[in-house]
Each structure stands twice: as structure tokens, then as C-alpha cells.
Amino acid sequence: MAFDIDLSNPFTTGADGHFYGGPGQGGHSGPNWTISHGMDLGAPVGTQVRAAFGGKVTNIFTPGSPSGGIYGDQISIRQDPNSPDGIGAFYTHLKASVPVGSFVTRGEVIGEIVKFGGIPTHLHLALGERSGNVYTGVDLYDYFMATTNTEITLVVRFFQDGSPPQVIDFRSDLQLELDDFEADLESLNPGYSNTWICVDTAIVEV
């Protein structure tokens, strides 16, 4: 069954604006979706990395030394750990600031970029759609490049039928807050509408 989810950029501020390849580019190849569908987003050492969506931190792995081009911690986050469906994310080249088993919200800081050896510092982020506990990597690289250093939220529809996800809306945090406010009003007053009605009024002197 298709579902929509809000995704935001892991860098709302601080990224250096350099991009080093998305799925199938810059060495992103192989059978593992966490590598083949990686997005390399440039940022200086110490830049805060935020969760692209809310979920549970299911795994953190730290190699004893840089191995296979991996620096720092590898963090896996699953949207809904109790469902065989949904999406997951794989982040690496950062120092984790959240523990395994914790739940994070979209936009929450999960770590910061660590120092590299000989290559520009960046975040490797891969997104995978999960259906029946099987992951398929998805390509949203162009959208993540376009929204770096902003608080724009992508509303993405996952179809759960093997077809690529579709970005159906862009929203700012202000629009999200307005939507939440209107939802609260609707819950209090089921007849609420955001359509303004102008009423003629008489002006009287007092």
C-alpha cells in the first residue's frame, strides 16, 4: 500500500555546497543498496547531521580503522521497526550522538561529520524502500542537492510496488506549522475551513 512521508535534508545549515555523486556515481556501485544508492553531500568537519525522517536507530557500527572508504560511525535508522514495510536510511562518515535503540524525530541531530584521510569530507547517505523486509535503494539525489542548507521538506510518495518514489510536494517549516495548526483547529471544530469570508459591517460612532 502506498504511503507518503516527509523527508528533510540532513544539512539545514553548514554544508559546503559540494556534491560528490549519487547512486551509480562516484564509486557507488555493487549489490548493497547502502553503497549503490549513496548520496555524497559535502560538509566541513564538525557539521551537524540531522535525521532525514523520524524512526528508530537500529544499528551503529564503527570500524576499528577506516575500512573500504568508511570513516567514523555507520548509523542505520528504520522508519517503523515493527513493520516489514516503510523506508530505512544509512548514514556514514560521522560521529554518532544518538544511541542504538533510540527513537529520533525528523530534523533531530544524530551526529557530526568526522575528519577524512585524503578525500573531501562529506556525508554518505542512502535511502532504501522496504517492502516485505526487503530493501530497494531509491534515488533522490537531485532533490537532496537542491535542498541542502534549507529547511524545505520533501513530501515523498512510496508506492510499494517496485516503481520509483515520487516527490509530490515541497514545503517549508512554516507551511508544516500551518498545516499542523489547521489540523488542530479541525479536530476542535470539524466544520473548520481556512477560507476567509468577508462580511459587510456598518461603522458607527460611539
Q: For residue 97, count CB atoms less than 10 angstroms from its CB and return exposed for 0-12, middle for 13-18, buried for 19 or more.
A: middle
Positive or negative torsion for Cα 38, 40, 46, 47: negative
Name the amino acid, one letter, at 149. Answer: N
124-155 as b/e: b if 16+ CB within 10 A:
bbbbbbbbeeebebbbbbebbeebbeeebbbe
- Residue pointed to by grid coordinates 564538525: 46
Nearest by Cα to 104 from 145, 56, 37:
56
pTM: 0.82
Domain 3-188 is in which class? Answer: mainly beta
Q: What is the pLDDT of residues 70-115, one digit of tens each?
A: 889 999 999 998 899 999 999 999 999 999 999 999 999 999 999 9
Evaluate whether 36 touches 139 at the Cβ level (below 8 Å): no
pLDDT digits (tens, 9 = 90+) for 36-65: 999 999 999 999 999 999 999 999 998 876
Q: 49 or 197: whose pLDDT is higher?
A: 49
> Which positions ≥6 away from 190 have C-beta within 8 Å?
none
Distance of CA 120 to the CA centre of its chain: 22
Helix and strand tally (H, E) in the chain? 3, 12
Q: At 179, which helix (H) or strand (E)?
A: helix 173-188
Q: What percent of the chain has pLDDT over 90?
A: 66
User: CA nearest 146: which of 138, 158, 154?
Assistant: 154
pLDDT digits (tens, 9 = 90+) for 105-142: 999 999 999 998 888 999 999 999 999 889 999 999 99
